[in-house]
Chain A
Amino acid sequence: MNGERTYARKRVALAGVVAVVGQLVVISQVPPFSGSADIVPLATLSIGLMLGSLPGAVFGFAAGLACDLLLVQPLGEYALLGLGIGYAAGRVGELRPPATRLALVPLGAIAAAAATVGFGLLQIIFGAGASLSLVVVQQAMLSILWGAILAIPVDLLMRRVVGGPPSVDAPSSSRRRAYATGGLSPLSPGRKR
């Protein structure tokens, strides 16, 4: 049992590496996405929906901290946002799991919006001199749009890496709400019999 959990945690860690590295070396440097698309919140959303609130929060925190470190941003900024996004996504997955894959589109937009707006808020709260302008608003809207567009592909990628259920479109009868099972995710300790 412990072996399975360790293996699952390794897969989740690998998903984090894929998301962070993919964002830094591909998405950030490819013309149509560069500067506006961010797949880390989308990957966090996917992990949260798939595994639950705690793994989602931990994944978001770790991925965000890695981004903070590699992008030489203020440490903890992205980590805190990732933590929030992962936890919220996990709670959505636990309480009201998406019935269809298309639900990922608005959820992706919300995750991207949360990341974009959250960054702005943190900048303002910590007095980093951020100012709101039309260009910033346009960039934020573009980020949200990319979030909506990339949510499904990123979810498919994360499911493939983690080895979770292939699709959220699986028959509802075969799924049980996590909070009803007593176990919040595949990473949670199994019920003692």
Chain B
Amino acid sequence: MRDAHIRRRRVVLALLVGVSLVLLTASFGSADGGPLHPIRSAAMVVLGPVESAASAVFKPVRDLFGWFGSTLDAKDEAKRLKVERDELRTQVVDGRAALAQNEQLRKLVGLGRRLSLADYAPVTATVIGRSPNVWYATVQVDHGSDDSVKVDQPVINGDGVVGTVSAVTPGTAVVTLITDRSSGVSSQILGGRRDVGTVVAADGDPGMLSMELLPRGADISVGNLVVTAGARSGPLETLFPPGLPVGQVSAVNQEQLRSDGVVSVKPLADLSHLDTLMILTRDVAAARRSAQ
């Protein structure tokens, strides 16, 4: 019985192997399927609809797997795009900062050419720190005594006067802004009688200035430009070259102007967003000598 079964098994196996080899030989032997083409066509006709029906039945399963795959792909894509977005954002920020710096430098160069500031040996510096409270209007810059920066030297930016150097180390300097209570700049009103006064920090408004010591009967109106007069209050030599823009008259109280000789001035330089500054390292007298 067992022998018969083994014999039967061998016969079936040999038959199947033989059929396989015949099919293979026929398939590889002819380019278009040859004599097997009708068999294949018939099988396709019979099995095709079954396959189509099964495909339709299993479509939700494929869609489910596809959804998982798409979700995973989407997560990877989102992660990659976030990294790319962060990189681009950094580039945009850097680009904008460079543009702003470029604009400030252009203004500085333009102001320097207009006012012939080259005689004052200007040193371009970048703001690296700022006083964190409203009591002290100071900023720290990245140039110091190693670059000939000294105390009391005037500091400007592309818009106008910013302040004066108040402390120096070899590599850094502290600039006291014109809105600080310790500052005072001898200035002149452009227009009218070109009245002269002193620009100081305004009372009660940290970002604003007042022009004091104006003569009685001064002819001043809102919008007049205020520039440095080229002379400092008191007996000392002037610190600021003449003609540097300081601010613009923002309010004129005629009664107060008559009685106290005071008008309100808004600084031209945006003192809350300082970035690139220019320190004039040669004083006015030396500059004059150099120019001669």
Contact = CB atoms under 8 A, between A and B. Distances in A.
A32 B73 CA distance: 12
A48 to B, nearest CB: 13
Nearest to A183: B5
B285 interface: no
Interface of B: 1-2, 5, 8-9, 12-13, 16-17, 19-24, 26-28, 33, 36, 39-40, 43-44, 47, 50-51, 54-55, 58, 61-62, 65-66, 69
B16 A83 contact: yes
B50 A53 contact: no
Interface of B is mostly: helix
Nearest to A182: B2
Given A21-B50, A29-B62, A57 B13 contact: yes
Contacts of B9: 53-54, 184
B36 A75 contact: yes
A170 interface: no
A122 to B, nearest CB: 7
Contact of B66 (A31, A79, A80): A31
A192 B19 CA distance: 32
A30 interface: yes
A54 B23 contact: no
B40 A72 contact: yes
B43 A69 contact: yes
Contacts of B20: 61, 76, 79-80, 83
25 contacts: A25-B58, A26-B58, A30-B65, A30-B69, A31-B65, A31-B66, A61-B16, A65-B23, A69-B39, A69-B43, A69-B47, A70-B44, A72-B40, A74-B23, A74-B24, A76-B20, A76-B21, A76-B24, A80-B21, A83-B17, A83-B20, A126-B28, A182-B2, A184-B9, A189-B5
A118 B40 CA distance: 22
B26 A75 contact: yes
B10 to A, nearest CB: 9
